[in-house]
Amino acid sequence: MSGPLADEVMDRLVPLYEGARDPERAVQAAAYMRNQFSFLGFPAPTQRALARTVVAGLPKPGEDDLRAVALACWDRDEREYQYFACDWLRANVRVPGPGFLDTARTLITTKSWWDTVDPLATRFVGGLVRRHPQLGAEMDAWAEDDNLWLVRTALLHQLHYGGETDTERLFGYCARQAEHPDFFVRKAIGWALRHYARTDPDAVREFVSGNRGILSPLSVREATKHL
């Protein structure tokens, strides 16, 4: 269910984005993403400029506004609408309560690919869990889920926590999913470890050394890239 603000956002967004279509670039963008999604075809700087125009002068959204716009953007075919939703959620990560994680799950498991999952994981879900620590239990469940994108999100949600990282969770998730067959999970393990190595390189070295027997070569290579 949408409200006046959510309706205003979509009423501004759609005409602006449609008016910026570039069919030639749209074909190239779709090919880059393995033709899984349709694109409008404008570059990232144009996307950011148009998004600023959309939200200019609007009041701060509430949780229902964020949900309504995100779901409306996910209902549209072209990928740039989903990018707008990811950016708007990130910009307003302090607004929603813990119950919004259910909506995030819907977004992560629908039209799933790294280009939307990663910003949601690292910049939105991560912020939501940081503000509502009780959601850590949900991350524990996601880390064991059959859906690889939920696993990837659990692995990456602490990416920007630095010294506040829950290392028991980080290393536990990596160990439990070390033998996961999917590239995106193995890559996420390496990325999460590499990023945490900026904070505690010795801890990452010790973890990798103790788990080389189960970690994939990809995960090890990514984790130790700067060690």
Angle at 103 between CA 131 and CA 8, to 5 degrees: 100
Could you tell me the two tokens for 190?
């390496």
**How do residues 4-21 score in pLDDT, each as one tens digit?**
999 999 999 999 999 999
**What single-letter DSSP state applies at residue 78?**
B
Q: Say how far apart CA 154 and CA 141 lie, in whole Å.
A: 9
Question: Position 40: which residue type?
Answer: L
Secondary structure class of 38 (helix, strand, coil): strand
**How do residues 150-159 score in pLDDT, each as one tens digit?**
999 999 999 9
Contact 51, 87 (CB under 8 A): yes
- Please say whether the dihedral angle defined by the alpha carbons of residues 85, 90, 92 and 94, taken in this order, is positive or negative: positive
Could you tell me the two tokens for 89?
């959620």
- Identify any residues that bridge with 38 across adjacent strands, giving them in sequence order: 78
Torsion, CA 193, CA 198, CA 199, CA 203, rounded to 10:
50
pLDDT at 1: 57
What are the residue ranges spanned by the domains of the chain?
A: 1-96, 102-227
What percentage of the chain has pLDDT greater than the value 70? 100
Burial of 108 per CB tally in 10 Å (0-12, 13-18, 19+): buried
Q: How would residue 3 be classed by pLDDT, with cut points 50, 70 and 90?
A: confident
CATH 1.25.10.90 fits 1-96, yes or no: yes
Secondary structure class of 83 (helix, strand, coil): helix
What is the arithmetic mean of pLDDT over 36-43?
96
CATH 1.25.10.90 fits 102-227, yes or no: yes
Average pLDDT, the chain: 97
Matching fold, domains 1-96 and 102-227: yes
What is the arithmetic mean of pLDDT over 17-33?
96
The DSSP secondary structure of 158-226, one letter per residue, reads TTT-GGG--HHHHHHHHHHTTT---HHHHHHHHHHHHHHTTT-HHHHHHHHHHTTTTS-HHHHHHHTTT
